[in-house]
Amino acid sequence: MGVSRFLNGFVSGTVCSAFAFIFYNRFTIDMTDEKYTFRKLHAKEAPRLRAVDSGTALKLRGSEILKYGIPDRGLDARLYENHVLCYDQAKKTPIWVAEHITKADLKGPANRRNCNFNIDPTLDPFFTSHVSDYKGSGWSRGHMAPAGDNKYSQDAMEETFYYTNIVPQDVNNNGGFWNRLEMYCRDLTDKFSEVRVISGPLMLPVQEEEGTKKFVKYEVIGNSSVAVPTHLFKVIAAESPQTPGSPVAVGAFIVPNKPIEGSAQLVEYEVKLEELEKSAGIYFLPQLPASKRVDLCSVDSCKLIPQETLELFFITRKLENAETLQRLESAWKDLDRRSLIPDDYMISIYKKKKESLMNK
């Protein structure tokens, strides 16, 4: 598979609390309603609450208890041009980030070189992470909604650089296995007209070497105490709605936040959706019944691009972006250092760039 295939793969935030889907699995209390209504929006899993008429003692008691307002953990969901997320104000990372990818999203002039990491303007600065938290921490800034899914719009791409979309991620994982997984999601648009992806961090327990107790342990970085996840997850739902009656191909994956061998394949990290939901405490696809789902890896290979192809992709990008002959030659020498063989497309890029720089 040629490198050129992957080169195509790579306003402001607003709130979407008006959307009903952000209230799944929750009760909300309308304190302004004359009847003090309890609205149950996901009845299947929620406990029963008894109805309360206006003027009852319970209504008055509720008002007394919450005299100074309902404790506020922030918005349930934040809507951007091409992704939606739920943010954890304590851990300073997203809880989940959802995307909808089509082939059209992957084509366009948007360039990540014009993007910078920024504080989300929709978030109270009191609860944000900062560039200083990551500096010198040994962790990279890992996108949950990748920039490469937004080639169609510079604004959409820039919004993926808000810290609300970022988690501390192992640098090798970020540029290696996780990147290959993101490319796989983009490649699915060749087979399915619509691909939906939900990604986020996990804090999973480990059992001590001695004894039976389990512990959840994770590092925090910077003055903001940004939580470093032990694992990352990704839920993929791929479909072609124009084919009536076809099931939605769903895959759930849990990936450790550490270096992963280049030979590793995606099926090694596949888990049942219910297992991930139990670990995360989230129903990821509450309006998609199991009867209308099919396992993604049973209808698709779930095969990631080879690590070698990914490395060639990165070197090609370095060649294209080289602004001096020294940087161009350094990128070209990476091939020898990694024992890689360039394809015709890559050789052409190198020759054209060298000629252009020599004529400056």
Q: Are residues 224 and 348 in the same domain?
A: no
- Which of helix, strand or coil describes residue 107? coil
Residue 291 in domain = yes
Q: Are residues 201 and 285 in the same domain?
A: yes
Residue scoring higher pLDDT (242 or 10): 242
Q: Which domain holds residue 42?
A: 27-65
Looking at residue 350, its pLDDT comes to 92
Residue scoring higher pLDDT (208 or 125): 125
Helical (H) or strand (E) element with 184: helix 177-187
Task: Provide mean pLDDT across the span 39-66.
Answer: 57
Residue ending a domain, among 265, 288, 304, is 304
Q: Are residues 208 and 270 in the same domain?
A: yes
pLDDT of 342 over the 60 cut: yes
Which of 34-38, 103-107, 145-149, 300-304 shows the lowest per-residue confidence on average (mean pLDDT)?
34-38
- pLDDT > 90 fraction of the chain, expressed in percent and rounded: 69
- Which of helix, strand or coil describes residue 330? helix
Residue scoring higher pLDDT (358 or 210): 358
Q: Are residues 228 and 339 in the same domain?
A: no
Q: Are residues 279 and 321 in the same domain?
A: no
pLDDT of 96 over the 90 cut: yes
Q: Which amino acid is at 256?
A: P
Domains: count for the chain:
3
pLDDT digits (tens, 9 = 90+) for 247-269: 999 999 999 999 999 999 999 99
Which of 103-112, 203-212, 269-278, 320-329 shows the lowest per-residue confidence on average (mean pLDDT)?
203-212
Residue 8 and residue 148: Cα distance in Å, rounded?
A: 8
Residue 229 in domain = yes
Residue 21 in domain = no
To 5 degrees, how large is the angle CA 230–CA 235–CA 240? Answer: 165
Q: Are residues 210 and 278 in the same domain?
A: yes
Residue 53: alpha-carbon gap to chain centroid = 43
Q: Are residues 50 and 137 in the same domain?
A: no
**Which are the catalytic amino acids?**
143
Looking at residue 89, its pLDDT comes to 98
Looking at residue 33, its pLDDT comes to 38
Residue 22 in domain = no
Looking at residue 1, its pLDDT comes to 43
From the CA atom positions of the chain, what is the Rg in Å?
A: 23
Q: Are residues 261 and 144 in the same domain?
A: yes
pLDDT of 317 over the 80 cut: yes
Contact in structure between 23 and 76 (CB atoms under 8 Å): yes
Strand partners, 166: 143
Copy the structure tokens of residue 243.
């084919």
Residue 325 in domain = yes
Q: Is 82 marked as a binding-site residue?
A: no
Q: Are residues 112 and 47 in the same domain?
A: no
Looking at residue 5, its pLDDT comes to 37
pLDDT of 49 over the 50 cut: no
Q: Are residues 300 and 317 in the same domain?
A: no
Residue 127 in domain = yes
Task: Provide mean pLDDT across the span 82-92.
Answer: 98
- The beta strand positions in 176-239, using DSSP E, are 194-202, 206-207, 214-215, 220-221, 226-227, 231-239
Local confidence band at 55 (pLDDT 50, 70, 90 cut-offs)? low
Residue 39 in domain = yes
pLDDT of 60 over the 60 cut: yes
Q: Are residues 131 and 254 in the same domain?
A: yes
Residue ending a domain, among 304, 326, 345, is 304
- Which of helix, strand or coil describes residue 80? coil
- pLDDT > 70 fraction of the chain, expressed in percent and rounded: 85
Question: What's the chain's average pLDDT?
Answer: 85
pLDDT digits (tens, 9 = 90+) for 153-182: 999 999 999 999 999 999 999 999 999 999
CATH of the domain at 198: 3.40.570.10
pLDDT digits (tens, 9 = 90+) for 318-337: 899 889 999 999 999 989 88
Looking up tokens 């889907």 gives 21
Contact in structure between 122 and 78 (CB atoms under 8 Å): yes
Q: Are residues 208 and 295 in the same domain?
A: yes
Residue 313 in domain = yes
Q: Which amino acid is at 202?
A: L
pLDDT of 31 over the 70 cut: no
